[in-house]
Amino acid sequence: MNVANDFQDRFRQAIQSHAGELQEEDGEPAKVELSPRAREVASLLSGRQISISVLCSIVRIVEAFALVAIGLGCFFGYVYPGHSVNIYYAAPLIIGSLLAVMLIQAADGYQISAFRSYIAQLARIFAAWTMVFAGFALVLFFAKLGDVYSRVWFAAWYAGGLMFFVASRAVLATLVRRWADAGRLERRAIIVGGGQPAAELIQDLEAQSNNDIRICGIFDDRSDDRSPPVVAGYPKLGTIAELVEFARLTSIDLLIVSIPLRAEERLLQLLKKLWILPLDIRLSAHSDKMRFRPRSYSYIGRVPLLDMFSKPITDWDAICKRAFDLLFASIAIVLLSPVMAATALAVKMTSRGPVLFKQKRYGFNNEVIEVLKFRSMYVDQEDLMARKAVTRDDPRVTRVGRFIRKTSIDELPQLFNVMRGDLSLVGPRPHALGANTNDKLWDQVIDGYFARHKVKPGVTGWAQINGWRGECDTPDKIRRRIESDLYYIENWSLGLDLYILFLTPFRLFNTENAF
């Protein structure tokens, strides 16, 4: 392990070792109020972003399929029915389209800068497409296969491909400029730490060509001359505590800490507060005297950064997880609809009140969501804030409610939360706003509690299949649940989601902690 990796690992371990520790402070933490300027900036940064990596991948896929489609269109328009689509035509269609995409990629044709100024890239794209057909010509000549193929088909496919690139890249350039003007293709960054180091970092970032970083402000705990209210033209929006609140209200992608690496104690204290956020967190190394191997850094242009924490489940991972949720939730709703219909009827027939119970809980990034459940309590004894946990033989629970709670049938309406996008099928279970142990809210009991909200909550999760289901009447139980949630976040994969889904029905037979 090199020195840089050792440095990063020491910081991560020191920070995450505090996660799940019991807190000793008493009382409720003070509410954080943002300054008017910070609230104004936050209101401008609430729009959804477009993932640049996903956009570039989609363009590659679309262009590959479009080239195949154009070739097939030329074939059926001229060659068919004289020839069928056999290996002689299928091979160049597939190989040629993939080779064209690879050559365009090698010519940097799938970067945002290329999408913006497409005219400058058309020459490279034309050259790549021409090289494909030049290669075909050489192969056909030396293999003596010229009589097998229609020359008109090759010419039509070549011309059709050129026209497609001209038209599609013009449309793409228009869309990219529109999205860029709306701020949807930028990476929004916050600088942590003020003074001269922040000023130098900002100047270096702005000096990079084709920079997709938009600096949205500065946050720093210091208020003396070392941290003036405006740094390199950017305002200081607040303290680190206010930054945590600001990041929950906005669509921020990146935190860049400009504090020198040698100030380890201050860095550690900052990162312990910031790592709970679902953001990429980087340490600036542009002006630090410590120097590691070049491969130890990630870069924005030529500005070196050390990666500390990365946002979990992003880009294609997020798309795959959402597709996974929609597929399996749809199947579950269809298969379990008789059970849900029977449960709704039983709830309605045995106690007055609505069939469904709606409760506000914490969602992704501490957003408040409304979770659906079958009502299991008497309507006049419902606990919307979950201030009092349900216990064994709780008199507030109806006769039908006891059964559906033990079997977790009361959770089935949350499948509609999954379809709506509030929940995932698998993830940390969403907790009610008033969930507490010994009259202390869980974020006051457990250090790093809000780190579990770095991903979307789930109907089931790693904690539930490992026995941490039901009442959390002791600090140790909630600590074990948080540890399981953090393990899931750090080790997420679609395979792990499938594993948890598969085991969930079997774990439901253990009703020891379900009341």
The model carries a pTM of 0.84
Does residue 192 share a domain with residue 154? no
Per-residue pLDDT tens over the stretch 397-454: 888 888 988 888 999 999 999 999 999 999 999 988 877 777 777 777 787 888 899 9
For residue 446, which of 486, 491, 387 has the smallest C-alpha distance? 486
Total domains, the chain: 3
How sure is the predictor about 74, in pLDDT bands with cuts at 50, 70 and 90? Answer: confident
Residues 346, 359: one domain? yes
Residue type, 130: T
User: How far apart are the C-alpha atoms of 390 and 308, rounded to whole Å?
Assistant: 40
Kindly state whether residues 88 and 122 are assigned to the same domain.
yes
20 belongs to a structural domain? no
Region 309-313: mean pLDDT is: 90
Predicted confidence band of residue 241 (pLDDT cuts 50, 70, 90) = confident
The gap from C-alpha 202 to its chain's centroid, in whole angstroms, comes to 26
pLDDT at 223: 74
Q: Is the same domain home to 351 and 399? A: yes
Whether residues 134 and 71 share a domain: the answer is yes
pLDDT (0 to 100) of residue 165: 94
The pLDDT, as a whole number, for residue 5 is 62
**Cβ count within 10 A of residue 440:** 16
Burial of 201 (0-12, 13-18, 19+ CB in 10 A): buried
Query: Looking at the domain assignment, is residue 380 inside a domain?
Result: yes
pLDDT score at 438:
74
Is residue 276 domain-resident?
yes
351/468 same-domain check: yes
Identity of the residue numbered 468: W
456: left (phi over 0), alpha (psi -120 to 50) or beta: beta
Contact 131, 109 (CB under 8 A): no
Terminal-to-terminal C-alpha distance of the chain: 49
Same domain? 239 vs 100:
no
Query: Quick one: pLDDT at residue 389?
Result: 67
Average pLDDT over residues 208-233: 81
Residue 12: CB atoms within 10 Å = 14
353 lies in the same domain as 478? yes
Does 481 lie in the same domain as 344? Answer: yes
CA distance 224 to 233: 18
Average pLDDT in the 332-344 region? 95
Domain boundary residue, one of 275, 295, 311: 311
CA distance 55 to 176: 10
> Is the pLDDT higher at 255 or at 508?
255
Amino acid code (one letter) for 25: E
Of 154, 181, 208, the domain-final residue: 181
Give me the pLDDT at residue 55, please: 93
CATH code for the domain in which residue 288 is found = 3.40.50.20
What residue numbers bound the domain in which 201 lies? 35-50+186-311
Position 22 in a domain: no
Given this model, what pLDDT does residue 333 score? 96
Answer with the residue of higher pLDDT: 36 or 7.
Answer: 36
Place of tokens 């690496």: 261
Count the residues in the chain. Answer: 515
Q: Is residue 26 part of a domain?
A: no
Helix axes 315-350, 52-74, angle to 10 degrees: 100
Rg of the Cα atoms in the chain: 28
Q: Assess if residue 25 is contained within a domain.
A: no
- Tell whether 157 and 198 lie within a shared domain: no
Determine, yes or no, domain membership for 21.
no
- The confidence band for 325, taking pLDDT boundaries of 50, 70 and 90, is very high
What is the average per-residue pLDDT within 35-43?
85
35 vs 171, which has greater pLDDT?
171
Can you give the pLDDT at residue 207?
A: 84
Rounded to whole angstroms, the Cα distance separating 266 from 271 reads 9
| pLDDT value at residue 27 | 45
Domain co-membership, 486 together with 338 = yes
Mean pLDDT across the stretch 343-351?
91
Taking only the tens place, the pLDDT of each residue in 479-494 is: 888 889 999 999 999 9
**Do 45 and 89 belong together in one domain?**
no
Q: Once rounded to an integer, what is the mean pLDDT over residues 164-168?
A: 94
* Residue ending a domain, choose from 181, 203, 226: 181
Average pLDDT over residues 324-344: 95
Checking if the pLDDT of 26 tops 50, the result is no
> Is 434 inside a domain boundary?
yes
Q: Which residues of 26-63 are buried (b: 16+ CB within 10 A; e: fewer)?
A: eeeeeeeebeeebeebbeebeeebebbeebbeebbeeb
The pLDDT of residue 306 is: 86
pLDDT at 82: 59
